[in-house]
Structure 1
Amino acid sequence: MKIINGGITTPKGFKAAGFFAAIRKKKNDMSIIYSDVPADCVAVFTKNTVKAAPVQIDMEILKRTKLIQAIVINSGNANACTGKKGLEDAQTMIDTVKNVLGLEKDRVLVSSTGVIGVNLPIEKIKRSIEENYKEIGDSLLHGDMTAEAIMTTDTFPKKVAVEVEIDGKKVVIAGIAKGSGMIHPNMGTMLAFVTTDVNISHDLLDELLKQSTDDSYNMISVDGDTSTNDTLIVLANKMAENKEITTKDEDYYKFKEAFDYVNLSLAKQIIKDGEGAGKFIEANVKGAKTKDDAREFAKSVISSSLVKAAFFGEDANWGRIICALGYTEIDFQLEKSSINIQNGDKTIVLMKDGMPLDFDEEKALEVLKMDEIKINIELGEGTESATAWGCDLSYDYVKINASYRS
C-alpha cells in the first residue's frame, strides 16, 4: 500500500465538483460525485432513530439497487425534521442531478449536513445544479473543491488516497469526510464518501465496510451526540480491471488493509478537527475478556465529558478514567487494572494493580501539555484489546455550539 497525493477523483472513472448554491452566505455548499459507469454501492447510516430526509431516501433506494452513479451533497442545511417537504426536496435534488447527467432511475443518492429543522432553499439548489453540473471534472482540484464544499464547522477539509497493486493492476481508494462536532460512536454528524476503482464482489465489500466502520468511525467521539444525518457511502466502479475479488484471499487482504487505512485516516482527521479541540486522545484498552468489552471500555473513556475536561485542564485525574470504565456496567476487577498516560517515549504510570502510585506531577504535566496523548489501560482480565479516539472538551466547544445557527 502506498499513500498518494490524491482525492475523491483519483480512482479511475470518478469525477466531482464543488460549487455555490447560496445555502451558506459565502462558501461553496454543493457538490456532486460522479462515476463514468454505474458503481457497486454499499453504505452505512446513522443509528439515531430520528433520521434526516436524505438518509431515509438513500436507505430506500439501496433496498432497490446495488448500483449508483452519482451522489449530490449540500452543506449548511441538514434537511432533517422537515417532514414531507424535506422528503420532496431531497427527491428534487436527486431528480435534478439525474436529469442533467442523463442517468437512469435510482442511480443517484443524496446527502445533507448543517442546521436541523430548516427547509432547504430548493429552488436555489435546483438552479445551481443546472448551472454548475458541467463543472464536474477529474482533476485533484475538483476533488479538493468537493471536500471543501461538504464542510460546516470543520476547520480543514479531510481527504486521503492510497494505491495498492492487486492482480497486477493499480487499484486506488480515496475518501473525503466532514465532521467536527456532533460526533459519537455509531457515527456522528459525519459524512464520508469513499471511491475506488477496484473490482470486488458486492457482498464482500458490504461485509468489509461494516467491519471497517466498527474499527474506525464507530470508535471515535467528540461530544457524545449522534447525528440525524451521518452517512458513509462507498462506490466501487471496477475500472481498475483487476480480477474480481470474490473470496478472502491474498488480494482481499491487501485491499482490506488499504480500505481500513482510508477509513481510519478520515476518522482520525475528524477527531483532530473536533470543535474547539486542542488535544487528540487515544484510549488503548488491553486485557479485556471479549472484543466487545474492550470496545465498550475504550469508547466509554473517550466519550466521558469529565475525562475530556480533565485533559483540557491538563489534570492527571486518573479517577475519572476508572469511573468511565465503570459507566459500561461490565464487570472487571479493579485490583488487576493499571493505567498510564503516554506521549512518545514519555510514560507516566498513574495506577498499578488497582492502587494509586506516586508520580511526578511536573513530568505528568509535560505529557498532558502535548497535543497528542495516549491513555493505556491494562485490565488483566483476558487477551482482547481495542482502541478508541477522542479529544478534549474546551470552552470553545461551548462557544461554537451556543451560536451554531448564526
Structure 2
Amino acid sequence: MAVGLGPLPTLHPVPGFELGIASAGIKRPGRKDIVVMRCAEGSTVAGVFTLNAFCAAPVILSKKRVLGPVRYFLTNTGNANAGTGEPGLAAAERTCARLAELAGVDATAVLPFSTGVIGEPLPVEKIEAALGDALADLAEGNWAAAATGIMTTDTLPKGASRQFVHDGVTVTVTGISKGAGMIKPNMATMLGYIATDAKVAQGVLQDLLRDAANKSFNRITIDGDTSTNDCCMLVATGQAALPEVTQASGELFAALKQAVLEVSMEVAQAIVRDGEGATKFVTVQVNGGGTYQECLDVAYAVAHSPLIKTALFASDPNWGRILAAVGRAGVPQLDVSKIDVFLGDVCIASKGGRAATYTEDQGAAVMAREEIGIRIELGRGGCSETIWTTDLSHEYVKINAEYRT
C-alpha cells in the first residue's frame, strides 16, 4: 500500500563500505534477516539513538562503542532484544564477540542493531550460525539486498544515493532505512545507515548527522510511538582522494552536507510513504509561529490526531477536527482570529471560522488525493516547521493486532 514509493533507485557503492546478507531464520526459515556491514579501517562513525528510556540492549552497547574505532555493524530483524534486561545485553555482547572473532577484530569494534518484537530473548545461536555466510557475502554493491534484509513490516525496501564532484573527484553518499510502524522520532527513528567515501573528522560528522536527522528523520511520524530501537548511523570511509573535512565550512563541506541531507530526507519520507496501512502521504506545514517549537507542537497535534487521520483515510474534509487539534496544541495565548488553515491551496478556515469562499466540494477534491498538504498559518511570528505523516486505516489496526501471530 506504499504511497508513491516504487522500486529502489540506483544505489551507488561507497568505496570502503561493504554489506553482507544472510539468513538466520529468526522468524521464518530462509528469511534474509542478518545484515553485516564492514567499514574500512580508519573510517569515522557517527550515530544518533532513541531517547526511549526502555532502549534496547543493542542501543546501549552501540552508544558506548560508537566513538570507535568501529569496523562492523551487525543487524538482525525479527527480534528487538528490547525489554530483555541483563540477559539481553549479554546476548548482544555475545553476538558481537562471535562476529569479531570471525572477522579478526576487537569485539568493541562491532556495533549491534536489532529490530522486531520487543520482550523476547535474542536467538543468539541462530544469529551466530549465520555470521559466516554474511561475512562471505560482503560486497560494496550489496546496498539493495541489505535494504531488503533490514525490513520488518515494511512492504518495500528504502534507499537513496547522491554523487557530486569536488576538485575532479566524485564523492558518493548512499543510505538505506527501515521502518513502517512505531514511528515517532525522538532523535532519528527506525534503523538507518548512511555512508560516504569522504574523509570527515568525527566531531564534524556527528554534527552533520544530528543536523540532517533533525531536518528529516525527526520530522516524520506515523503513529506517535517512539521505538526502543531507533538508530541512525553515518559512516565516512575516507577513501575519496580529497582532504579531510575538519570544520563545518567550505565548498566540500557544503556539498557533502547537502548530499547527506537529501539522502536522509528521501529515506525518511520513504518510511512515511510505506507506513503501516497508509493510503495517504500527508505534509503538515505550520508557518508564522512565534517559536519553532510551537510550530512543531501544532504540527504534531494535527499529525497525531486519530480523528484527523481517520478523516484522511475516508477522504472526508472534516476541517473542524483540524481546528480542534490546533487549539489543543498548547500554544500560549493563541489568537484564533489570526489563524488560516489550508487543504492544499484551498483555504478552509480563516479568522477563527469557516472561510467565506470555501465549499465542501473543494475540500473533498483535495482529500481524494494520495498526497495531501495541510498548511496552518498562525500569524504569530516568522518561524516555520514541516513534518510528514500518514492516514490511519483499517489495515494499520490489522497489522498491529496480528503483529505477533
- TM-score normalised over the length of structure 2: 0.93
Pair 1:283 & 2:284 matched: yes
Does the 8 Å contact 2:181/2:223 carry over to 1? yes
Q: Output the aligned Cα RMSD.
A: 1.6
Report SS of the residue matched to 1:221.
coil
Which residue number in structure 2 is paired with residue 107 of structure 1?
109
Which residue number in structure 2 is paired with residue 384 of structure 1?
383
Pair 1:88 & 2:90 matched: yes
C-alpha separation in 2, matches of 1:222 and 1:196:
29
Does the 8 Å contact 2:187/2:214 carry over to 1? no
Q: Deviations over 1:379-404 (max 9, x none)?
A: 11111111000000011101000010
Which residue number in structure 1 is paired with residue 192 of structure 2?
192
Which residue number in structure 2 is paired with residue 371 of structure 1?
370
Pairing 1:200-219 to 2, within 5 Å after superposition? 200-219=200-219
Q: 1:353 aligns with which of 351, 354, 368?
A: 351
Q: How many residues matched?
A: 394
C-alpha separation in 2, matches of 1:159 and 1:93:
27
The structure-2 alpha-carbon separation of the partners of 1:304 and 1:241, relative to structure 1 and needing over 3 Å to count, comes to farther
Which residue number in structure 2 is paired with residue 51 of structure 1?
55
Does the 8 Å contact 1:189/1:228 carry over to 2? no
Which residue number in structure 1 is paired with residue 307 of structure 2?
306
The structure-2 alpha-carbon separation of the partners of 1:109 and 1:24, relative to structure 1 and needing over 3 Å to count, comes to same
Q: Offset of 1:327 from its aligned partner? A: 3.3
Which residue number in structure 1 is paired with residue 5 of structure 2?
none
Q: Offset of 1:368 from its aligned partner? A: 0.6
Q: Offset of 1:231 from its aligned partner? A: 0.6
Q: Deviations over 1:149-170 (max 9, x none)?
A: 1100000000111012234321
Q: Offset of 1:328 from its aligned partner? A: 2.8
Report SS of the residue matched to 2:108.
coil
Q: Which runs of 4+ in 1 moved over 4 A?
A: none
Q: 1:338 aligns with which of 337, 340, 365?
A: 340
C-alpha separation in 1, matches of 2:273 and 2:45:
28
C-alpha separation in 2, matches of 1:189 and 1:15:
23
Q: Offset of 1:297 from its aligned partner? A: 2.0
Q: Offset of 1:249 from its aligned partner? A: 2.0
Does the 8 Å contact 2:24/2:31 carry over to 1? no
Q: Percent identity?
A: 36
Q: Deviations over 1:6-33 (max 9, x none)?
A: 43x7111111111110102142111011
Does the 8 Å contact 2:220/2:268 carry over to 1? yes
Q: Offset of 1:355 from its aligned partner? A: 2.4
C-alpha separation in 1, matches of 2:195 and 2:170:
14
Report SS of the residue matched to 1:88.
helix
C-alpha separation in 2, matches of 1:231 and 1:34:
17
Pairing 1:3-402 to 2, within 5 Å after superposition? 5-7=9-11, 10-25=13-28, 26-62=30-66, 65-139=67-141, 142-187=142-187, 190-247=190-247, 248-331=249-332, 332-342=334-344, 347-358=345-356, 359-402=358-401
One-letter identity of the residue aligned with 2:37: I
C-alpha separation in 2, matches of 1:327 and 1:186:
21
Q: Deviations over 1:251-294 (max 9, x none)?
A: 22211111111111111000001000000000111111122222
Does the 8 Å contact 2:49/2:59 carry over to 1? yes
C-alpha separation in 2, matches of 1:327 and 1:46:
27
Q: Offset of 1:5 from its aligned partner? A: 4.8
One-letter identity of the residue aligned with 2:342: N
C-alpha separation in 1, matches of 2:391 and 2:188:
17
Report SS of the residue matched to 2:41.
strand
Report SS of the residue matched to 2:376.
strand
Q: Offset of 1:188 from its aligned partner? A: 7.3
Q: Which runs of 5+ in 1 are unaligned?
A: none
Q: Deviations over 1:334-381 (max 9, x none)?
A: 111101111xxxx22101222212522223212111110000111111
C-alpha separation in 2, matches of 1:366 and 1:57:
50
Q: Which runs of 5+ in 2 are unaligned?
A: 1-7
